[in-house]
């Protein structure tokens, strides 16, 4: 821990700017707070809307993050009104929130943090509260109270665990007033509060106490193996990644009820050492370190006791068994503690497998990142607490009431409804341009995570970056894939499984369009067309079906075929014949996979001139074959369909979305033309 306060930077800042400065210093250190945790405040005189002097508490608003906090995120609360309720016997969370809303100096400010009254009742001007790892480790063990005293001294107060709310605020206020010489306060199993006449003073004390805790822990930990040594060594990096990719869909299938989850994989050194340790099976099941962490990680991870992570069938079974046991344990925990609230999703957020590492789950990859970031800190906290004495945390009822806390549940109800392809992953081949790119972008728009596959790695990366820029990091990944190469296709699917955890939708779209009359056609041209337009689809579909079956959640495979299958044209033999094989492959796959809930359908677009396949040469060739002047070719294609419509890549993307989504849940083996209506190409 380092004191980052710079007199030069803080000099001359007006009070709220000092508060912002302090908050960001705390927020920037993930050993103090992660993902929106902690809060800060300052009491000061302000002018109200009529120019009157009013004493105001500026406190971090709900929903903001200390590391990026701005002036507008601090809610103004009239101190006189806040203090008026301190003598109340009790207030429910709902009463407190309603009351505080009336104390705000501006209704346009965000709602104050749930710890607002705690800040208000503390007599000092500046207050800082964090969930510092070292402090949490110090109090989350079997001799927490003594350890806090030994490390921080008598001048630091201790308040036994109580869920944040009115009573805790009152207790803190009274304790600090009764001990005017105290410099800080530890909320057991929760975090640290310090205060001062200035932000600088509150911050200095915060860092100084955290440093004392760190030094105490380092001393205890020196020379001992806190997790009891190695039980399972990690597999070599290459093998680990290979197994992780193969097993991720099994894992995803096992933890995706009732809702699909995205899985984020991590095999950092810290994680590998922890999951492979003697103690991991035991200490990982004790509980989350703070009430704040429970909201993101649930109380305990799913620990898979892998006998031999290198043996996939055995590991798959162990995963299914452990996931089932975790769910049963969660149901029992819910039944033992339930109130009138409905059950939250019974899905682990953190999954630990010795030899392989950690997966975290979420409705999207961004959400899956949060438990990963928190659990890395949890590993440190558990290790340090074990070094002091045994890791011990919140009681089950306290953990339950943190997880099922009404105010937090209320926040969930404010989330916007999920999009049609939310929680789904899609792999699209030939996605660097034209139809494939339009499909990938359309799917991303509807909430899917997409793998952009094409032959050139840079092109894939560029499309993925554009999607991530628009929809947020992690939503797309570029994967170079030559669909004619068996190994490349396998590697591509493995990369997808590592990135997202599994697969829901595949659009097999990559294609080429060689032309030429049969008598002039080189064997090489014929074979190249079959390699891409038939074998390529086979290789992609084979990997897709394997992965979808391993996952056991159904799936949708969409083939981009062509109207040529029904209405072949001259000079297009190599193309049409290979495409006919693709269409037949799609039908066979529909027949073979219906029992697994895997749907297989075909799109039949007519000439989409934005498609990469439509090179100027191809256009010239096709115009010649049809006996149409080149400059009139596009227009004549449009005029030849019943709707006289110009068919675009976006039109094909809409049709692909229909097959990918649940809207076509009862359709498989079907062909959907996107051609403006061509009677010779009607499917029959």
Partners of 302 in the β-ladder: 351
Chain mean position to CA 317: 26
**Helix/strand/coil (H, E, C) string of 422-464?**
CCCEEEEECCCCHHHHHHHHHHHHCCCEEEEEECCHHHHHHHH
CB 35, CB 77: distance < 8 Å: no
- Beta carbon of residue 191, minimum distance to Zn ion (angstroms, whole number): 5
Letters for 186-205 (x = contact with Zn ion by CB under 5 A, - = none) are -----x--------------
- Cα distances (Å, whole numbers) of residue 451 to 485, 531, 554, 586: 18, 22, 19, 21
Which range of residues in 185-193, 233-241, 461-469, 658-666 is near Zn ion by CB under 5 A? 185-193
| Binding range to Zn ion, per CB under 5 A, among 83-91, 133-141, 184-192, 604-612 | 184-192
Token digits of residue 336: 């033992």
Q: Quick one: 191 or 430, whose CB is closer to Zn ion?
A: 191
Write down the least CB distance from residue 164 to Zn ion, Å.
6
DSSP per position, 164-220 = SSHHHHHHHHHHHHH-TT--EEEETTTEEEEEESSHHHHHHHHHHHHHHHHHHHHHH
Let me know: does 403 contact 299? Beta carbons within 8 Å: yes
CB nearer to Zn ion: pick between 131 and 475: 131
Neighbours of 98 (CB within 10 A): 11
> Near Zn ion by CB under 5 A, which window of 183-191, 213-221, 428-436, 634-642?
183-191
- What pairs with residue 265 in β-bridges? 359
Residues that bind Zn ion (rule: CB under 5 A) add up to a total of 1
Judged by beta carbon, residue 31 or residue 640, the one nearer Zn ion is 31
Of 292 and 651, which CB lies nearer to Zn ion in the complex structure? 292
Helix 573-593 with 536-551: angle, nearest 10 deg:
20
The residue among 166 and 326 lying less far from Zn ion, judged by its C-beta, is: 166
126-130 and 156-159 as β-strands: parallel, antiparallel, unpaired? unpaired
Q: Are 384 and 217 in contact (CB under 8 A)?
A: yes
Nearer to Zn ion, 131 or 240 (CB): 131
Instruction: Indicate the residue whose CB is closest to Zn ion.
Output: 191
Has 375 been annotated as catalytic? no
Site for Zn ion in 244-263 (CB under 5 A): none
Beta strands in 541-623 (DSSP E): 555-560, 598-605
Q: Is the CB of 191 or the CB of 502 nearer to Zn ion?
A: 191
- CA-based torsion, 116, 395, 275, 496: positive or negative: negative
Which of residues 292 and 606 has its CB atom nearest to Zn ion in the complex? 292
**CA neighbours closer than 13 Å in the CB half-sphere of residue 257:** 13
d(CA 633, CA 636): 5
- Give the nearest distance from C-beta 129 to Zn ion in angstroms: 6
Among all chains, which residue has been given the structure tokens 């549940």? 409
Q: How far is the CB of 37 from Zn ion (least distance, A)?
A: 6
Shortest Å distance, C-beta 39 to Zn ion: 7
Which of 161, 216, 375, 575 is catalytic? The answer is: 575
- Which SS3 state, helix, strand or coil, does residue 478 take? strand
User: How near is the Cβ of 205 to Zn ion at its closest, in Å?
Assistant: 17
Least distance to Zn ion, CB of residue 119, Å: 11
State the minimum distance, in angstroms, from the CB of residue 186 to Zn ion. 12
**Positions in the binding site for Zn ion (CB under 5 A):** 191
> Hey, which residues are catalytic here?
575
């Amino acid at each position: 821990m380092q004191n980052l306060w710079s007199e030069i930077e803080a000099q001359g800042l007006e009070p709220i700017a000092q508060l912002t400065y302090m908050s960001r210093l705390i927020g920037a250190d993930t050993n103090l707070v992660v993902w929106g945790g902690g809060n800060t405040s300052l009491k000061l005189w302000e002018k109200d809307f009529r120019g009157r002097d009013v004493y105001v508490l500026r406190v971090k608003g709900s929903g903001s993050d200390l590391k990026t906090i701005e002036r507008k995120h601090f809610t103004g609360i009239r101190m006189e009104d806040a203090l008026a309720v301190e003598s109340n016997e009790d207030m429910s969370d709902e009463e407190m929130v309603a009351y505080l809303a009336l104390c705000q100096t501006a209704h346009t400010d965000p709602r104050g943090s749930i710890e607002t009254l705690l800040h208000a009742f503390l007599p000092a001007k500046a207050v800082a509260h964090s969930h510092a790892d070292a402090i949490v480790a110090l109090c989350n063990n079997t001799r927490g109270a003594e350890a806090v005293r030994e490390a921080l001294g008598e001048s630091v107060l201790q308040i036994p665990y109580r869920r944040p709310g009115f009573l805790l605020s009152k207790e803190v206020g009274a304790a600090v007033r009764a001990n005017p010489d105290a410099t800080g306060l530890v909320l057991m199993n929760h975090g640290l509060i310090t205060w001062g006449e200035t932000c600088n003073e509150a911050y200095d004390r915060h860092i100084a106490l955290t440093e004392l805790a760190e030094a105490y822990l380092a001393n205890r930990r020196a020379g001992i193996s806190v997790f009891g040594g190695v039980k399972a060594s990690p597999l070599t990096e290459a093998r680990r990644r290979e197994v992780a990719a193969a097993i991720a869909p099994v894992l995803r299938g096992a933890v995706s009820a009732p809702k699909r989850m995205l899985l984020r994989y991590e095999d950092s050194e810290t994680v590998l050492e922890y999951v492979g340790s003697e103690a991991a099976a035991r200490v990982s099941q004790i509980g989350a370190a703070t009430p704040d962490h429970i909201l993101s990680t649930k109380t305990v991870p799913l620990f898979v006791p892998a006998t031999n992570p290198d043996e996939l069938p055995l590991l798959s079974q162990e995963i299914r068994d452990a996931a089932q046991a975790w769910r049963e344990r969660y149901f029992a925990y819910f039944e033992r503690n339930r109130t009138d609230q409905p059950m939250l999703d019974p899905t682990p957020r953190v999954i630990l497998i010795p030899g392989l590492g950690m997966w975290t789950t979420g409705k999207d990859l961004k959400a899956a990142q949060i438990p990963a970031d928190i659990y890395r800190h949890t590993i440190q906290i558990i290790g340090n607490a074990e070094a002091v004495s045994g890791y011990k945390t919140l009681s089950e009822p306290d953990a339950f009431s943190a997880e099922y806390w009404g105010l937090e549940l209320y926040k969930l109800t404010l989330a916007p409804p999920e999009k049609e392809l939310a929680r789904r992953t899609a792999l699209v081949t030939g996605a660097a341009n034209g139809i494939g790119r339009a499909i990938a972008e359309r799917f991303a728009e509807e909430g899917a995570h997409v793998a952009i596959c094409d032959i050139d790695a840079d092109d894939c990366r560029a499309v993925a970056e554009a999607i991530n820029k628009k929809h947020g990091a992690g939503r797309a990944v570029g994967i170079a894939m030559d669909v004619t190469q068996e190994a490349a296709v396998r590697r591509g699917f493995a990369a997808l499984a590592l990135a997202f955890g599994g697969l829901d939708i595949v659009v097999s779209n990559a294609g080429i369009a060689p032309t030429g009359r049969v008598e002039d056609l080189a064997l090489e041209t014929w074979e190249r067309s079959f390699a891409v337009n038939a074998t390529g689809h086979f290789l992609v579909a084979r990997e897709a079906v394997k992965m979808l079956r391993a996952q056991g959640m159904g799936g949708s495979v969409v083939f981009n075929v062509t109207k040529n299958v029904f209405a072949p044209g001259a000079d297009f033999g190599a193309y049409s014949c290979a495409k006919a094989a693709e269409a037949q492959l799609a039908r066979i796959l529909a027949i073979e996979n219906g029992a697994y809930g895997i749907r297989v359908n075909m799109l039949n677009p007519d000439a989409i001139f934005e498609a990469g396949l439509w090179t100027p040469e191809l256009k010239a060739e096709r115009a010649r074959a049809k006996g149409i002047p080149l400059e009139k070719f596009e227009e004549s294609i449009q005029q030849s369909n019943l709707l006289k419509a110009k068919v675009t890549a976006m039109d094909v993307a809409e049709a692909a979305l229909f097959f990918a989504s649940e809207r076509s849940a009862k359709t498989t083996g079907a062909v959907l033309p996107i051609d403006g209506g061509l009677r010779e190409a009607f499917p029959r």
